[in-house]
Amino acid sequence: MNSYSYSNVNGSLSIGGLVGSNSYGDVLNSYSVSNVFGVNDVGGLVGSNANSDVLNSHSSSNIFGVNDVGGLVGSNYGEAGSDTYVKDSYSNSYVNGTRRIGGLIGSNIGYMYSSYIINSYSNSDVFGDEDVGGLVGLNSGDTDYSMGAVIENSFSVSNNVSGNTNIGGLVGHNSIVTYSLITNSQYFNSTNNPSLGIGLDANAQSINSQNLVDYFYNVSNSPIVSNWNLSVWNFTGSDLPSLSSV
């Protein structure tokens, strides 16, 4: 809570600018401005987030990894115990990896419990090979436990999203019919981004795009209107929203 990091971090598994592995705990009102190097589960703020919450936090970091690499969180995982949330958070980072690479979160996985991304955004440059998204690389629920991977009221204004397989302006790969849910979320369709909002989508959803980034400056526009807490977010009308408490 109320923590920050300006650091260079180097490791292998669950590597984050502030927290490596966050399990059964909360990261609140925190931020990272770091250089983070790892292999699996690598994030600008948190490497792996399981059964835990990341709230009112942000990252402006450079992140390099291989699998499950994100500007804010490497992997967001609903495992045994409780649902997992990333809410009211954003990333303004440079993200580079191979598989499951996202501007905000590399992989959002619902397993024994659900995983949620709510009222959050990415303004990151994202480069990878497979399952690469401006907001999330892989969004995947679970049929055995009927648990969802959910993205709500969120957006990506990433100006550079690049890869080879399953590349999306919002999500690279939305996997598992019924349990991988994306609602009221949009992306900035710049010339440097893929034309698809979701690179590969099991649910064949239609994702709205915007051609002007300043659409997302306006609190009256979807997905922000009526959904985002204006005591948490600061809107100037001339730039992307920032967090009031961080």
- In Å, how far are 59, 75, 178, 204 from 93, measured between CA atoms? 7, 16, 31, 29
Strand order in the sheet with 46-50: 19-23, 46-50, 73-78, 105-110, 136-140, 171-175, 198-201
> Among residues of the chain, what percentage have pLDDT more than 90?
85
Q: What is the amino acid identity at position 217? A: Y
pLDDT of residue 162: 96
For residues 151 and 116, give the distance between their C-alpha atoms in angstroms, rounded to a whole number: 6
Q: Which residue is associated with the tokens 């659409």?
A: 215
Query: How far apart are alpha carbons 107 and 87 in whole angstroms?
Result: 15
What is residue 193's predicted lDDT score, i.e. its pLDDT?
84
Q: Which residues make Cβ contacts (< 8 Å) with residue 220, sequence separation at least 6?
A: none
Helix, strand counts (H, E) of the chain: 0, 35
pLDDT (0 to 100) of residue 22: 95
Q: What are phi and psi of 217, to 5 degrees?
A: -80, -20
- pLDDT > 80? residue 213: yes
Question: What pLDDT, on the 0 to 100 scale, is given for residue 23?
Answer: 92
Find the mean pLDDT for residues 16-42: 97
Mean pLDDT over the full length of the chain:
94
What's the pLDDT at 223? 96
Helix (H) or strand (E) segment spanning residue 47 = strand 46-50
Distance of CA 13 to the CA centre of its chain: 19
For 63-107, how does the pLDDT look when each residue is reduced to its tens digit (9 = 90+)? 999 999 999 999 999 887 789 999 999 999 999 999 999 999 999
* Per-residue confidence (pLDDT) for residue 114, from 0 to 100: 92
CA distances from 98 to 38, 79, 246 (A): 12, 24, 31
pLDDT at res. 140:
94
**Residues 32-43, mean pLDDT to the nearest whole number:** 98
Q: What is the pLDDT of residue 144?
A: 79
Rounded Cα distance, 43 and 80, in Å: 22
Tokens of 241: 């929203």
- Please give the model's pTM, rounded to 2 decimal places: 0.97
Amino acid at 235: F
* Residue 114 CB coordination number (10 Å): 23
Question: How large is the average pLDDT for residues 205-228?
Answer: 93
| Residue 1 pLDDT exceeds 80 | no
Mean pLDDT computed over 186-207: 88
- Per-residue pLDDT tens digits for 127-175: 999 999 999 999 998 877 778 899 999 999 999 999 999 999 999 999 9
Contact yes or no for 169/150 (Cβ under 8 A):
no
Is residue 183 within 8 Å of residue 151, measured between CB atoms? yes
Q: Quick one: pLDDT at residue 19? A: 98
